[in-house]
Amino acid sequence: MEFWFTEKQTDKFGITAKVKRTLHTEKTDYQQLDVVETEEFGNMLLLDGMVMTTERDEFVYHEMVTHVPLFTHPEPKSVLVVGGGDGGAIREVLKHPSVEKATLVEIDGKVIEYSKKYLPTIAGALDDERVEVKVGDGFMHIAESENEYDVIMVDSTEPVGPAVKLFEKGFYEGIYKALKEDGIFVAQTDNPWFQSELVKNVYSDVKEIFQVTSLYTCNIPTYPSGLWTFTIGSKKHDPLNVPEERFHHIETKYYTKELHTAAFALPKFVTDLIK
């Protein structure tokens, strides 16, 4: 007998993956959490039935959410990740030697617990001494922070369940306040094929708050449409104007300094969306 997991990415389209076995399934205080072992993508974390990360393709998301803002900042010392309980973004943040402290604020402690257990190559970095892990509400953490971070990364789920507040303009205003005077913010902002309104609205909100706003993309096979967007809001530094010498060497599988720039060249229908 074969078992196949299917995620309906829209009401009318989805992906399906052959599953060896279910490693964990639980209704946490915040969401449905499942970890399955797939044949094509290795262990896969799902929240509310949506693929969050897989062992095989996680490097794309985690490298691209991290290295674009961190190489844009001249010397990121204090970095905050909101969400991101799987630890992948933190792992990438720690590749930057200037980073003195990386704080993770994840609302659902179970995500951290089961990522450590079943996704150790992703979550292992959470035990690093430069990392502080807080189980709590990222929205509240931002509201209470002021002039504190060089880079803030919002590594959230889709805007359903606990993440709804993380797509509101008031949250981005809080992030502006929580950043230092030359701080940079990045958020994952879904895909332009099925969630064009979301991409458009976040971009418009961020643009009203930050001095520099831009959108970049990457390819993630297990995410809807395979084309993922990130929105950057920056007080000063322009991700498209990074001095050559700032690109120190780090080990990556997706990110390169050439791709750093190329990722901002958008398909015309995406440019039209955020005009």
The dihedral sign for the CA sequence 105, 118, 158, 239: positive
Does 13 interact with a copy of itself (rule: CB under 8 A)? yes
Alpha carbon 154 to chain centroid, angstroms: 6
Q: Which is nearer to a copy of itself, 30 or 193 (CB)?
A: 193
Q: How many residues bind a copy of itself (CB under 8 A)?
A: 42
Rounded Cα–Cα distance for residues 162 and 33 (Å)? 13
Rounded Cα–Cα distance for residues 76 and 245 (Å)? 15
- Name the helix (H) or strand (E) containing 246: none
63 assigned to a ligand binding site: no
* Both tokens assigned to 90: 């933190």
Please pick, from the candidates 33, 34, 36, 41, the single residue that binds a copy of itself as defined by CB under 8 A: 41
156 assigned to a ligand binding site: yes
Active site residue 155: yes
Does 70 interact with a copy of itself (rule: CB under 8 A)? no
Q: Which is nearer to a copy of itself, 14 or 120 (CB)?
A: 14
Q: Which is nearer to a copy of itself, 15 or 135 (CB)?
A: 15
- The DSSP secondary structure of 158-218, one letter per residue, reads -SSGGGGGGGSHHHHHHHHHHEEEEEEEEEE---TTT-HHHHHHHHHHHHHH-SEEEEEEE
3-state secondary structure of 146: coil
Tell me the residue type at 60.
V
132 assigned to a ligand binding site: no
Please pick, from the candidates 220, 232, 242, 274, the single residue that binds a copy of itself as defined by CB under 8 A: 220
Does 254 interact with a copy of itself (rule: CB under 8 A)? yes
Segment contacting a copy of itself by CB under 8 A, of 32-40, 92-100, 175-183, 198-206: 32-40
Please pick, from the candidates 27, 117, 248, 253, the single residue that binds a copy of itself as defined by CB under 8 A: 253
Please pick, from the candidates 226, 238, 240, 248, the single residue that binds a copy of itself as defined by CB under 8 A: 226
Contact 259, 188 (CB under 8 A): no
**Residues annotated as catalytic (active site), given as ranges:** 155
Judged by the rule CB under 8 A, the positions of this chain that interact with a copy of itself are: 6, 10-18, 38-41, 57, 60, 193, 217, 219-221, 224-227, 252-256, 258-259, 261-269, 271
